Structure 1
Amino acid sequence: MRRPVQIPRETLIFIRSAIFAAAASLTMLAPVCSEAADGIRMMLKVQIPPDTGNQAIKAGDQGKIFEEMIDKMKPEATYFTQEDGLRTVYFVYTVHDTADFAAIHEPFIQGFGARVYDMPALTWDELKAGFEAIDEKP
C-alpha cells in the first residue's frame, strides 16, 4: 500500500495562494472574456525535454507535430526559443471552446513528453476594460 505524500505547510499555503490568484484573475477577466464572441486569446508555452525532443527529431516527428498543430491552432504568432535548457515554443492563439484544450495540449505531451502551460493573453485595452469592470462593482 502506498504511503500518503506529506506536503509541507508552506507548500500548501503557496498552492492555495496560487489558486486564489488564478480565481481572482479569471474574475477580473470575466467581463472581457464573456464579450469575446470570437473566442479568447491564449498564450501556450510548450517546453520539450532534450531526450524526447532529440528522439522526435531523429524519428522525423517534430516537424510533423508542429505542422499539424499550427494548421489546427492557426496561431497569430509562434516563437521558438530555449528556456531553462529546454526547447520552448510560445503560441499566441484563440480558443473557442474549453473542450479544445485537450486536443491542443495532448499532441505535445504525447509526442514530446512536453510540459504545457496555457494562460489568457490580453492586450492593454482588454486589461483596462477588466479593471474598469472591477471599479464599477459596489
Structure 2
Amino acid sequence: MRVLLKASFDTQRSSEVLRSGKLPQMMEALMERTKPEATYFTVDHGQRTMYLFFDMTDSSDMPAIADPLFTEMGASIDYTPVMDFDDLQTGLAKLS
C-alpha cells in the first residue's frame, strides 16, 4: 500500500544530528529501506519536516522505519494511506 510518512523533527536533536555529520547516512539508510516514490523536505509549524511517499508492503515494517527517526531526531511521525490518480480511478470504478 502506498503511504505518506510525515516526520517532523525536534529542532535541537535534529541540529545535533546535522552537526555530527550523521544526517546524510541516516537519510540514505531510510531511502534504501523505503525506496520512496518521492521525498520532500520543508518546514511545517516551525519544525524541520519530511514527507516520504513509498510502498509499504508489510505494516510490520512501521517500527523499523520510524525508530531511527524517533531515537535520533526526536521525530513526531504520522503514517497515512494515500492514492495516486490511477488508484483513485480504480477505486471510483468499484463504486458502481
Task: Give the whole-Å Cα distance in 2 for the aligned partners of 1:124 and 1:74.
Answer: 20
Structure with the higher helix share, 1 or 2:
1
- Aligned residue for 2:66, secondary structure, equals helix
Where relative contact order (Cα < 8 A, 6+ residues apart) is larger, the structure is: 2
Q: Which residue of 1 aligns with 2:60?
A: 99
Q: From 68, 71, 90, give the equivalent of 1:129.
A: 90
| Runs of 4+ that moved beyond 3 A | none
Listed as ranges, the matches of 1:21-40 within 5 Å are 40=1
* Structure of higher CA gyration radius: 1
Gaps of 5+ in 2: none
- Aligned residue for 2:4, secondary structure, equals strand
Q: From 71, 78, 84, give the equivalent of 1:110.
A: 71
Percent of pairs with identical residues:
29
Which amino acid letter does the alignment assign opposite residue 91 of structure 2?
Answer: G
Q: CA deviation at 1:118?
A: 0.9
The number of residues matched between the two structures is: 96
Q: CA deviation at 1:59?
A: 1.7
- TM-score, normalised to structure 2, is 0.89
Q: Which residue of 2 aligns with 1:45?
A: 6
- TM-score, normalised to structure 1, is 0.64
Task: Give the whole-Å Cα distance in 1 for the aligned partners of 2:9 and 2:63.
Answer: 17
Which amino acid letter does the alignment assign opposite residue 46 of structure 1?
Answer: A
Q: CA deviation at 1:115?
A: 0.6
